[in-house]
Structure formats: structure tokens, C-alpha cells
Amino acid sequence: MGTVTCDRRSFLLDGRRRLLISGEVHYARSLPEEWPGLLDRCRACGLDAVASYVFWNFHEPERGVYDFSGRRDLGCFLQLCAERGLKVILRLGPYCCAEWNYGGFPSYLRDEPGIEIRTWNAPYIERAERYLRRLAEVVRPWLYSNGGPVILVQIENEYNNVAARYGEAGKRYLAWMAQLPRALDLTVPVLMCEGAAPGAIAALNGFSLDDRRIAEFRAAHPGLPLSWTECWTGWYNTWGYRHHYRSARNLGFHLLRFLGHGGSFWNYYMWHGGTNFGRNSMYLGTTAYSFDAPLDEGGEPTAKAFYLAGLHEILHRWEPVLLAGEPRVEVDTAECRRVVWSGEAGRLELELELKKQRGALRGNGHEIWVSDHECECAAPCWCDGGGGRDWEFAREPRPAERRDAVFSTEVCEQLTLTRDRSDYCWYAAEAEVTTPGPQLLTLEAAADLVYVYWDGELLGSTPLPLAENRGPTGEGAMTVGGGSSLERTEGQYGVQFAFSAAAGRHRLEIWCVSLGRCKGDWMISGPMNTECKGLWRPVRLNGRALGPWRQYPGLCGPGAWSRSPAAGPQWLRTTIPVAPDVLAAAIDFRLAATGLGKGFLRWNGFELGRHWLLPGHGYGADESWQDAALDGLTLGPDGEPTQAYYRIPPTLVAAENRLEIFEEQQADPRRIRLEFRVGKTSAEPAAKQGDE
């Protein structure tokens, strides 16, 4: 059966050197019926392999309940890859990151007594091994060594980001992880990106790999191929911030530079971003995970895909020259680098203008140029597919109407109540005002977005936008900037509301809404299992702690439907008809969610994801990403909603469609439109000749 080996120059399959051009496609971010088309397009763009994370919480949604069927049918995805001659790099987790809810961890991990995540901790190791053992059964038949497409497995992810926190215990954990695939009889080489333990193949991630990083890598791993496991094609988007884009020519320049360093394996992260359906997004991550990837959210090729497909075609033609020996650096100044490959198969010359970020690769009668020109193709044209026929509205019951209260003296943290099965939790208490006039309500810790109701009226909500990295939520998490203003100290959780009230007893209801779990320690400056949602420190009126509390986790669902809109949290539903000719011609659909506030969308019973029409300003993440402008990162228009459109996979669209919306704020549903796209995007890239 097949063998996968590597040396300093490249990976070798069955002893044959390979240039390995891979693209990340998360099968969890599209539907199984879309996988064949997506993978065809990967192949057509000259990819040799696809990479995907396997998200633990996608496959073990409840403790001990495994699911590898339907949307979770990993075996089916691997078979489709095999049928197309695509190799697979499977990123097994158990920790993934990827802007996926809780970085891929199942939420119930936080309930395991004594657990510490991503370190040498018995309860964690036991759960992780149990899951990986089950996963290994699914993956084993698809390994290259067993005749399948999976040539490499990755274990853990970017441990360097957290290594300092876990010290010696972390090292022991990582070493154990590195040997685990082998122990589970996964007989292909093991990759570990940005933090490898002995026995695994180290690899690098980034927008670009600069000379210093490459030199360090070469010095540390003289016998390993230079592997770029995540070459970022764009960046993800977070609610309240502007869109991220990455220029294709900049990407092209950095790829050529990487080749000049002798790189022979890279993986575009993402090649297809797809959609965070349902509640799969991390905290603050938008529902669309487009990532400005070469295949757009609906899987159609963009200008970037055509550009890279051209590059791949020529690189594959030159593969024997590129891989015959080490590239030789002939000129290396601050301005210019010239690198030459020469051997029996021919001669290639790479010339890079380092400051101008331009370059050319020439030889054997061909040339590839990275110039100042950006590649462009016309933006897809979306057509109006109509709106809802009749709208109906139903209130979501308020605490006073609910019978499912959880009582406590002090506030009870939200995830303990919801187990992350819902974004929502109400907190209700009585508030006694002794001195009429100005009042100050202090929520010492509140996440993520809270709405405060006073005697049934909305008093206010969390100041926006929310920061992506907010500091620790565990014990000692503080809180509010002093004074009586409505300020919130950046990066923390305190919120204050100044208002006026009459003397007497009042009804205080605080509605807490989660925006997804953190993806890694750095978002909360603490271990992931210490993340909190809802309220977890005292709520004070003029300094006095309030209580006892009644908590209402989750939503009740629509009560009685009516024709008149309700105020505040409510359900909306309608039918949207789609004409037969549109159904036949459309290749993709989306909802223009104009008129909506925030909530989630359900289309024919399928959870499309969260919606939020919040306008985007600024970079998001931390502003240090501004440096990424050097790596060709640009921003979308200021002030437009971070996500205005919500994708609907075509296979979910029928002649009559039921759209159901949960809306937290307010909605003018007359403005919601279904839009569709027809036809193929100009010519599909030429299919690569099969080399199997």
C-alpha cells in the first residue's frame, strides 16, 4: 500500500517527489450535496490536496454520542476526494481553532470535574483519547497507507499560542498528542503546525513567511520540508467591524518567495470558507465564513481562484525542475533576490523585487509574473427573487409569562444553565428604589450582549462593538470604569446604566445573548474552560447587590401568531415562493436581510445561522492586524453591515419556502428579499490532467 515520506526538499508519495498544493475546505461548512461540486472545482483549479479540520463538537455533540452521518459523514467526504484524485490532509483536533464554536471542543467538557483543557490533565486526556479513538476508526480505511486519500494527519493546533500558560504539563501533553495518531494505528506522518513535539512534522502558518522565520525553521528542522500549513488567503469577519480582503497579487508574490526558499508544500487557508450554519460560529464571528477565499461562500470561483489556477498549472508543469534539487540563490540584496533551479529537466529562474513585491518566474518557455496589477473579474450579479407573501408575528414570552425559572440567591452563570444549547438566558429580580431620581445600575460582569428591561421597558444594551479579545472571564474578572457614565472599560465585561426611576418596587429583567464560545485562550486571557456567559458577578443598584434571581435559560418559541408586529423579542414567519424557471437556473441563493436587527434565521426548518445587521467600523480583532496591510489585507466600506446577506444553499430552496426569523430587536420584514444568482462564472478553470 501507499507510503508517505519526506525529506528536506519535499514530501514523497510512494517514493516520488511531489509538489503539494493544498486548499482548506471544511466539510462542516457546506452541505454534503455541495461537496462533489466543491471538490471538482478544487481539482479544476490545480489543487493536489484538500485539508479539513474535523471538529470534535460536530461529531460528538453529546457526551458519548457519536455522529458520522449526513452532514457529518466524514467517510463520504473522503471518498469524494479519493474519486477525484485529491489527497487529503486531515486536521484531527482535538483542538482546532478555525473560528468554530469553542475551537471545536464540545461544550460539555467544561462540566467534567477537575478538567483543564489542552494540558496534561487526566479528565481531559481521557475524553480526548476516547473521542480520537472513535475518530480513528472512521479515518483508518481512508489512509494513504491503506489505499485511501489521507496522506497526512494534523494533531492539535498552534500550541505555541498557549504553551507559556501550561508550562511543563503542556509539554507533556503535546508530546503525548504527537505520538497518539501512531498509537491509534493512523499510519501516515503526523503534522503539527506552530508548535510541534518530537516525532511530528513541524509546519508554519501566516499571511507570509518572512526570511527570519524560514531561517529559524530550517535551523531547527534541517531534515524536514518547508511546510506552510496555513497560507491565509484573506481573513474572517467579526460583527461590528469592516470586511477583510486580501489581494491575489500579494498572495502570488509571497508564494513565489516561498518557492524561492525551497518550499514545496503549502495549504491555502481557506480555499473555500463556506458558512457557519446554526450556532457553529465562534464568539463574534459572522455567519458567513467567506474569508475572501478563492472559492466564494457559495463555492463559485472568484478572480483569485482563476489567478491561482493559472499559477498552479504552470508550477505543475515545472514540478520536475522545481523538485530536482535545492534552489540556488544567486543574488540576495535588500531590493532583489534571484534564485535558480537547474538540472536535467531544465532551468528556472525566479527574480523577486522584494520592496515592490513584484516578481517573475521564467523557464522552459513560460513565465509567471506578479506585477502591480490586481486580477479582477466582474462581481457576480444577484437578481431579486421576491419577498415574503404574508408575514405573521408572535411574541417570545417574557420572564413573567414563563414557568421554568431556575431560582438562586446570586446570579447563576449562563453556560451552567444553557449548556450552550441556546444563545439566550433571561435574569429577573426585583429592585427597590428608595430615593427617586437618578439611579445607577451596574452589571459587574455581563456577556456577550445584554438587553436591560426596567418594568418591561428596554433601558439599554451593551455598548458596541464588542471587542474580540476581552480579557479573563473567570474569578477576578473586573469590570466597570468608575463614575456614573455609561462607559464600559475596553476589553472587560462591566456595563453600567444611568437612568431615572420613581421610588418603589421595580421589575428588572436582563436578557443575555451569547454570540458563540471563544475559539482560544487568548480571547479570554485564560483557559478556555473558564469562559463565562450571561451574568456571573453581582448586579448592583446604586452599589447594593440585587437578588434573589430567577433565571430562564433558552427560548420558549412562538406563542400565538398574529398579523401585527410585536415589540421586542419576537418571531416572524412567511412563505417565499420561487418560480420554476428560477429554481431551474439558480446556482445560489441568499437573503438580503435589510430591515432586520439581530437574531437567527430558519429556512424550511434548517438553521441558517445568526443574523445581525450591525454596521462595521474599524479592523476588528486587535488593531495590530493593521500591520497585515503589508500582507495585502484591505478593508471593505466603512459603515456597511458586517454581514448584510445570508446564504441559502440551493438544495434547500423549493417552490414554496417557509422563512422563520427570531428577532431580538425590531424588524421591518417588508424589506427582506430573496436573491439568486444564475449560470456559471465565466469559463471554469481548465481541469488538470489526472496524474494518478
Residues 190-229 touching ligand GAL, rule: CB under 6 A, are 205
Radius of gyration of the chain (CA): 26
- Taking the complex as a whole, the smallest distance from the CB of residue 206 to ligand GAL amounts, in Å, to 9
Q: Which of 230, 313, 396, 413 is catalytic?
A: 230
The H or E element spanning position 313 is helix 303-317
Query: In terms of DSSP H, where are the helices of 516-590?
Result: 521-524, 580-585
DSSP-derived secondary structure for 125-190: HHHHHHHHHHHHHHHGGGBGGGTSSEEEEE-S--GGGTHHHHHHHHHHHHHHHHHHHHHTT--S-E
* Segment contacting ligand GAL by CB under 6 A, of 92-100, 105-113, 420-428, 455-463: 92-100
Q: Which is nearer to ligand GAL, 250 or 418 (CB)?
A: 250
Q: Which is nearer to ligand GAL, 57 or 157 (CB)?
A: 157
Burial of 584 (0-12, 13-18, 19+ CB in 10 A): exposed
- Taking the complex as a whole, the smallest distance from the CB of residue 618 to ligand GAL amounts, in Å, to 18
230 pairs with which residues across the strands?
205
Q: Which is nearer to ligand GAL, 128 or 370 (CB)?
A: 128
Q: Which is nearer to ligand GAL, 104 or 465 (CB)?
A: 104
Q: Which is nearer to ligand GAL, 499 or 625 (CB)?
A: 625
Q: Which is nearer to ligand GAL, 226 or 601 (CB)?
A: 226
Q: Is there binding between residue 413 and ligand GAL (CB under 6 A)?
A: no
Q: Is there binding between residue 621 and ligand GAL (CB under 6 A)?
A: no
Query: In terms of DSSP H, where are the helices of 200-246?
Result: 211-220
- Taking the complex as a whole, the smallest distance from the CB of residue 26 to ligand GAL amounts, in Å, to 10
Residues 6+ apart with CB under 8 A from 658: 573, 574, 575, 603, 604, 605
Q: Is there binding between residue 158 and ligand GAL (CB under 6 A)?
A: yes
Q: Is there binding between residue 98 and ligand GAL (CB under 6 A)?
A: yes
- Taking the complex as a whole, the smallest distance from the CB of residue 163 to ligand GAL amounts, in Å, to 14
Whole-number Cα distances in Å, 514 to 277, 425, 457, 472? 16, 9, 21, 16
Residues 6+ apart with CB under 8 A from 627: none
- Taking the complex as a whole, the smallest distance from the CB of residue 669 to ligand GAL amounts, in Å, to 34
Residues 663-682 touching ligand GAL, rule: CB under 6 A, are none
Binding ligand GAL (rule: CB under 6 A), the pick from 34, 116, 156, 230 is 230
Q: Which is nearer to ligand GAL, 97 or 202 (CB)?
A: 97
* Segment contacting ligand GAL by CB under 6 A, of 94-102, 328-336, 509-517, 587-595: 94-102
- Taking the complex as a whole, the smallest distance from the CB of residue 96 to ligand GAL amounts, in Å, to 6
Give the total of residues touching ligand GAL (CB under 6 A).
Answer: 8
- Taking the complex as a whole, the smallest distance from the CB of residue 224 to ligand GAL amounts, in Å, to 19
Contact 447, 512 (CB under 8 A): yes
**How do beta strands 504-513 and 424-433 pair?**
antiparallel
Q: Which is nearer to ligand GAL, 609 or 620 (CB)?
A: 620
Q: Is there binding between residue 250 and ligand GAL (CB under 6 A)?
A: no
Q: Which is nearer to ligand GAL, 97 or 339 (CB)?
A: 97
How far, rounded to the nearest angstrom, does the alpha carbon of residue 237 sit from its chain's CA centroid? Answer: 9
The one-letter amino acid code at 514 reads S
Contact 460, 486 (CB under 8 A): yes
> CA-CA distance, 121 to 141, in Å (whole number)?
31
Whole-number Cα distances in Å, 238 to 510, 617, 666? 24, 10, 21
Assign 676 to helix, strand or coil.
Answer: strand
Residues 6+ apart with CB under 8 A from 457: none
Helices vs. strands in the chain: H and E counts, helices first? 12, 39
Whether 24 is catalytic: no
- Taking the complex as a whole, the smallest distance from the CB of residue 49 to ligand GAL amounts, in Å, to 17
Q: Is there binding between residue 293 and ligand GAL (CB under 6 A)?
A: no
- Taking the complex as a whole, the smallest distance from the CB of residue 233 to ligand GAL amounts, in Å, to 10
Q: Which of 158, 194, 319, 531 is catalytic?
A: 158
Binding ligand GAL (rule: CB under 6 A), the pick from 39, 54, 90, 97 is 97
* Segment contacting ligand GAL by CB under 6 A, of 81-89, 95-103, 476-484, 636-644: 95-103
Sign of CA dihedral 112, 113, 119, 124: negative
Binding ligand GAL (rule: CB under 6 A), the pick from 99, 468, 531, 675 is 99
Chain position carrying cell 479540520: 53
How far, rounded to the nearest angstrom, does the alpha carbon of residue 214 sit from its chain's CA centroid? Answer: 27
- Taking the complex as a whole, the smallest distance from the CB of residue 621 to ligand GAL amounts, in Å, to 9
Contact 255, 268 (CB under 8 A): no
> CA-CA distance, 565 to 82, in Å (whole number)?
52
Q: Is there binding between residue 236 and ligand GAL (CB under 6 A)?
A: yes
* Segment contacting ligand GAL by CB under 6 A, of 96-104, 327-335, 594-602, 672-680: 96-104
Binding ligand GAL (rule: CB under 6 A), the pick from 157, 473, 642, 643 is 157
Whether 230 is catalytic: yes
Q: Is there binding between residue 132 and ligand GAL (CB under 6 A)?
A: no
Assign 529 to helix, strand or coil.
Answer: helix
What DSSP state is assigned to residue 615? B
Q: Which is nearer to ligand GAL, 202 or 576 (CB)?
A: 202
* Segment contacting ligand GAL by CB under 6 A, of 1-9, 91-99, 303-311, 600-608: 91-99
Other Cβ atoms less than 10 A from the Cβ of 44: the count is 17
Active site residues: 158, 230
- List residues near ligand GAL by CB under 6 A: 97-99, 157-158, 205, 230, 236
